[in-house]
Amino acid sequence: MIQGAGSNVGKSLLVAGLCRAYHLRGLKVMPFKPQNMSNNAAVTSDNGEIGRAQALQALAAGVLAHTDMNPVLLKPETDIGAQVIVRGKVLTTAKARDYARLKPQLLPAVLDSFERLRQTADLVLVEGAGSPAEINLRLGDIANMGFAEAADLPVILTGDIDRGGVIAQIVGTSAVLEPADRDRIKAFIINKFRGDVSLFDDGLDEITTRTGWASLGVVPWFNQAHKLPAEDVVEIGSTNCGDFKIAVPHLSRIANFDDLDPLRQEPGVSVQLVEPGMPLPGDAGLVLIPGTKSTIADLAFFRQQGWDIDLAAHIRRGGHVLGICGGYQMLGREIIDQSGIEGVPGRVQGLGHLDVVTEMLPEKNLRNVIATCLADQTSVTGYEIHIGTTTGNDCNRAWLAIGDRLEGAQSVNGRVQGSYLHGMFASDAFRQGYLQRLGISSSGLDYSAEIEATLNALAHHLETALDLDRILDLAG
């Protein structure tokens, strides 16, 4: 189990790289994360949802993503509450205090999922969440040491030297842990080192002397990390490589923003994540309104920033708009939520740029799909992960088809479009055709090949930096 001395120390990327490295060695590898918190989810082969990081790790391991790889997924809906997904399906919505009482009941399901993976794999690589140093959360824990104890796993602790204070991160973790938890940690990794790693030799000795843990190595900064799908929106930032600007409002509950990843790698495109309080840029060619975990709340948030006024001006100037999932719902005339699925029951006026109405319904749509773009008949792979149905006159101008079913909507002039289909831009022919219709020349980017090449480079990076044989020995 790979745990972190803090949040965002690079656990997800390390596990992905190790999955690919051991896969290249000929082992059958499975990734696992007992509990994840993210609104960036992936639809699995068994029609459930897991964290995007575990889907990337499955790809790195050369296996299909499955709900057993992330049996508990928390999707924040408010600052104090989250939707609880167990084995890919919605269990409940709980506030943080209520979830603390629920966690012990979820441990059997978590262990069952882990055991199924372990029975089919040579190696299961487990990713922790946050840090075991958060000892106030140890009681009932299923994410870090609580799970490691229940599954009887050896632990490797990872520290992030790029933030500074990495010796204190690791030695401090040793200091606050109970002896039994401390004994589970067998070794440590220093991650994100810039420069000559030999300069930290004395630091490694200090950590080993103060903790008794062995060093598995120092991982230099991996410059290609930005090419891989990120789980946390703070990691994606903006790109400024091309003349055509795509503006993406940073919604408060932004979800499934992996839609942006292929666009960020297009050389003719700049993707600008517009932070709250900033206007939508007047020179944007496309405004892309992404998915959200809370459409109605983020619609109010959108208006609070004045983005509704900016969007109307963008459309008057002849700009293009694409809404995906929750962004699609916002673009319509009205959102009806009579059951109070997203809060107080009622009806909310939409932005009104598409002649459609969305009705929120309890059942979540979860499926991987293959669609066809009606403009050029290119194939589009993607996934749906949403609640609600959308109907109206502009749906008669659908621009995608899934089998015999029309998907999406567009305005009379075709400049405003919406769809429930996530992941569409990962399809090279579709993405290139879409951008060409916006006046951007095809780059010939093979997105899937780029991801594969980056994972292979990451595996080589870790083979060079770490003692992977020792990790196998620790795993037994």
Q: Which pTM does this prediction carry?
A: 0.92
- Please tell me if the domain spanning 2-221+453-475 has the same topology as the one spanning 234-444: yes
325 counts as catalytic? yes
CATH fold for the domain made of 2-221+453-475: Rossmann fold (3.40.50)
Query: Would you kindly state where each structural domain of the chain is located, as residue ranges?
Result: 2-221+453-475, 234-444
- What pLDDT is stored for residue 64 in this prediction? 97
Active-site residue, selected from the candidate residues 314, 353, 386, 422: 422
Q: Which residues of the chain have pLDDT under 50?
A: none
Q: What does the pLDDT look like over 143-186, one tens digit per residue?
A: 999 999 999 999 999 999 998 999 999 999 999 999 999 999 99
Region of 87 on the Ramachandran plot (φ > 0 left; ψ -120 to 50 alpha; else beta): left
Under 8 Å between Cβ of 74 and 83? yes
- What pLDDT is stored for residue 429 in this prediction? 97
- What pLDDT is stored for residue 242 in this prediction? 85
Active-site residue, selected from the candidate residues 325, 353, 373, 461: 325
422 counts as catalytic? yes
- What pLDDT is stored for residue 260 in this prediction? 94
Tokens 């003692």 belong to residue = 467
From the options 3.40.50.720, 3.40.50.880, 3.30.420.40, 3.30.413.10, give the CATH code of 234-444. Answer: 3.40.50.880
